[in-house]
Chain A
Amino acid sequence: MSEALTAAAPVVAVAVPVHRRGWRQKVAPWLMLAPSLALMLYAFVLPMLTFFEYSFYTFRRGKLIEEFSLTTYRRFLFDAYYQTIVLDTLWMAALTTVLALAIGYPLAYALWRLERPWMKRWLSLIIFSPIIVSVVVRSYGWIVLLADQGPVNWALKGLGLTNGPVSLVFNLTGVVLSLAHVFLPFVVFPIYSSMTRIDPALREAAMDLGAGWARTFRSVTLPLTLPGVVAAVQIAFTLALGAFVTPAMLGGGRVLVLPLQVYNATSDINWPVAAVGGLVLLVIAILVVALCNRLLKYSEA
């Protein structure tokens, strides 16, 4: 930015409107970007570099050793304990994504097929409004809902489906249910938006040619909404990978995923392990994003 300023400075003296315009065109956008770029540098780039730096240090016998080494990486990648954490994280994210899709796709479909505008408005309001309720509140709601003497167990017992209480919370089940709830709006949105882009003539043509609803859905609607589904998977999976509050509150100590490991290591002042764990998480997230982008390009072509 400063180079652009100094390089452009002599032009000001010329004071010809056309030239000034050219100068402005070059410098003005950088001046407008400057506050955001400065913020990004201070609160994003530099912290991430620090984080990266700590991943090359080691922590031994309660002391941080500030010397370059790959020991922490080696320990993390080859230790069965950490491998289990990585696999559990992926498994939890996968289950959450599948559940969120199973609920989100039909809801997006319903939102799309509803004919009266006021119904559309209300349904979209109901789907999207939980975004503005704190994740802490929503996770707490699921704790109450799924408790041993909570409404879900009460209903299961009342319906005669179970005898004793089913453990739904403080384990993986509770975490996955709650996460699917938290991410549902982010799943419905891209799918719904891909549905609105379908040309209605295509469905009508399929129906006119005698295809039933199921056939029309299978060969028109579903393929055309696949980009939306891929986008939904991308969002849900990456958000689930990084989820911290919900596994911390509903996991009951039984669901140890990478974000919790990063938190625990930071609390135990073992910063190198926290940094390596965080970077592993980041690499997985980037891989998922890249893979989905590939799929998106492929499915849109």
Chain B
Amino acid sequence: MRTLGSGIRLRYLALWTFTILGIIFILAPLAIVVVNSFSSVAYNVFPPEGLSTRWYENLAGQAAFYTGAWRSLVLAALATLGSLVIGTMAAYALVRYRLPMPNLVKAFMLSPIVMPKIVLGVALFMFFVRIGTLGGYSSLLLTHMLVVLPFVISLVSAALFSFDWTLQEAAMDLGAGPLETFCRVIFPEISVSMVVAGVFAFVTSFDQVETTLFLVRPGDNTLPIEMFLYLQKWQDPTIAALSTVLILFAVAIIGGLSLVLRNQKLPLELSGAGKETSA
């Protein structure tokens, strides 16, 4: 056991001080957005000169943000669903079957992660211009699916890696078909990872700026792009009001996720365990 040295109290104090400073660093830029959204003036000033809800009223009148939010939600939902389906299939193939050069195939499937997003966005723009599908919804959707696919594949294959495959063989031997085996034996075991992958995919798709910037037609902007372009023109707290709504949205996701994962291990420990078994 640890011996109680004289410096131990001091060290704990230092650790705690640092932790609290770190938490302030992490939360301050989010907290200030909420404070600023209730400011009564259009410029950034602290402490606030007065309180008002005028920016929320202004936000309510900005139709571009509504349509942008709706577009982003639908796009993120479709991209998440699509990438979960094809990504789980790919992960299954990567983990369960013997492929020629498995590491190369896997590295290829995960390679979009290392690509700088702006490079990917511009490359997609040039390609879609050339084949004449720029501005189409399918181009946008496939782009978002591609961006989130590597995350789905890596999270789901980590879960499949630690799955006890004798269960699958037992189910097959007992006469269950491949689809039934997947739905009733494998899916329940990897569902937590799929939920985590789905949430991550949704959030990542919802937050795409660089990859999407050149692909949307003017007037058909997704929400982050609408905000990005708005901020290039104005910097009034309307964006703060909208950001506050988005932060609440994020808190709701976190809350929902921790309900789902209530009795599960934290995802960071989950994937850490996956890493250990593969090492």
Tell me the nearest residue of chain B to A111, going by C-beta.
B19
What's the Cα separation between A74 and B253 when bound, in Å? 49
Q: Which of A33, A123, A140, A153 contacts B33 (CB 8 A)?
A: A140
Chain B residue numbers with a CB within 8 Å of A241 are 116
If A25-B97, A106-B18 touch, does A125 touch B92 (CB 8 Å cutoff)?
no
Min CB distance B192 to A, Å, is 16
Q: Answer yes or no: A42 CB below 8 A from chain B CBs.
A: yes
Query: Interface digits, A32-49 against B, CB 8 Å rule (1 contact, 0 not)?
Result: 110111011011101110
Contact call A109/B15, Cβ cutoff below 8 A? yes
Q: Which of B23, B247, B276 contacts A197 (CB 8 A)?
A: B276
Q: Answer yes or no: B51 CB below 8 A from chain A CBs.
A: no
What's the Cα separation between A48 and B7 when bound, in Å? 57
Tell me the nearest residue of chain B to A210, going by C-beta.
B3
What's the Cα separation between A140 and B246 when bound, in Å? 13
What's the Cα separation between A199 and B44 when bound, in Å? 50
Contact call B272/A196, Cβ cutoff below 8 A? yes
What's the Cα separation between A137 and B253 when bound, in Å? 16
Chain B residue numbers with a CB within 8 Å of A103 are 22, 25
Chain A residue numbers with a CB within 8 Å of B23 are 123, 126
Within 8 A of B (CB), among A255-301: 259, 262-263, 266, 271, 274-275, 278-279, 281-282, 285-286, 289
Contact call A192/B203, Cβ cutoff below 8 A? no
Chain B residue numbers with a CB within 8 Å of A35 are 85-86, 89-90
Chosen A-B contacts, 14 in total, with CB atoms closer than 8 Å, are: A40-B112, A123-B23, A130-B30, A132-B254, A134-B227, A135-B209, A136-B228, A141-B29, A147-B45, A149-B44, A213-B11, A244-B117, A248-B228, A262-B119
Query: Interface digits, B84-115 against A, CB 8 Å rule (1 contact, 0 not)?
Result: 01110110111011110000010011011011
Our count of residue pairs bridging A and B at CB distance below 8 angstroms stands at 254
Contact call B224/A136, Cβ cutoff below 8 A? yes
Chain B residue numbers with a CB within 8 Å of A140 are 33, 227, 231, 239-240, 243
Chain A residue numbers with a CB within 8 Å of B1 are 204
Contact call A32/B214, Cβ cutoff below 8 A? no
Chain A residue numbers with a CB within 8 Å of B90 are 32-33, 35-37
Q: Answer yes or no: A85 CB below 8 A from chain B CBs.
A: no
Chain A residue numbers with a CB within 8 Å of B221 are none
Given A35-B85, A43-B145, A282-B115, list of 17 further CB < 8 A pairs? A32-B89, A35-B90, A40-B108, A43-B124, A47-B124, A110-B18, A110-B19, A126-B26, A134-B206, A134-B243, A135-B209, A147-B44, A154-B47, A197-B276, A213-B7, A259-B118, A262-B122
Chain A residue numbers with a CB within 8 Å of B32 are 141, 144-145, 150-151
Closest 8 pairs (CB-CB, A-B):
A242-B116, A141-B29, A29-B97, A51-B123, A47-B127, A29-B93, A32-B93, A147-B44
Contact call B246/A47, Cβ cutoff below 8 A? no
Contact call A136/B87, Cβ cutoff below 8 A? no
Min CB distance A40 to B, Å, is 7
Q: Answer yes or no: B260 CB below 8 A from chain A CBs.
A: no
Q: Answer yes or no: A86 CB below 8 A from chain B CBs.
A: no
Contact call A43/B22, Cβ cutoff below 8 A? no
| Interface range, A side | 35 or more
Chain A residue numbers with a CB within 8 Å of B108 are 40
Query: Interface digits, B261-279 against A, CB 8 Å rule (1 contact, 0 not)?
Result: 0000010110010011000
Q: Which of B8, B16, B28, B266 contacts A124 (CB 8 A)?
A: B266
Q: Answer yes or no: B2 CB below 8 A from chain A CBs.
A: yes
Q: Answer yes or no: A172 CB below 8 A from chain B CBs.
A: no
Q: Answer yes or no: B5 CB below 8 A from chain A CBs.
A: yes
Contact call B46/A149, Cβ cutoff below 8 A? yes
Q: Answer yes or no: A207 CB below 8 A from chain B CBs.
A: yes
Contact call A138/B29, Cβ cutoff below 8 A? yes
Chain B residue numbers with a CB within 8 Å of A121 are 266
Most buried by B among A50, A271, A281, A285: A50
Min CB distance A58 to B, Å, is 15
Query: Interface digits, B226-238 against A, CB 8 Å rule (1 contact, 0 not)?
Result: 0110010001000
What's the Cα separation between A131 and B26 when bound, in Å? 11
Q: Which of B145, B231, B268 contacts A192 (CB 8 A)?
A: B268
Within 8 A of A (CB), among B179-234: 199, 203, 206-207, 209-210, 213-214, 224, 227-228, 231
Within 8 A of A (CB), among B146-185: 146, 149, 153
Chain A residue numbers with a CB within 8 Å of B65 are none
What's the Cα separation between A113 and B142 when bound, in Å? 43
Chain B residue numbers with a CB within 8 Å of A43 are 124, 142-143, 145-146
Q: Which of B5, B94, B98, B228 contacts A212 (CB 8 A)?
A: B5
Contact call B142/A39, Cβ cutoff below 8 A? yes
Contact call B243/A141, Cβ cutoff below 8 A? yes
Contact call A141/B33, Cβ cutoff below 8 A? yes
Q: Answer yes or no: A128 CB below 8 A from chain B CBs.
A: yes
Tell me the nearest residue of chain A to B276, going by C-beta.
A197
Within 8 A of A (CB), among B240-260: 240, 243, 246-247, 250-251, 253-254, 258
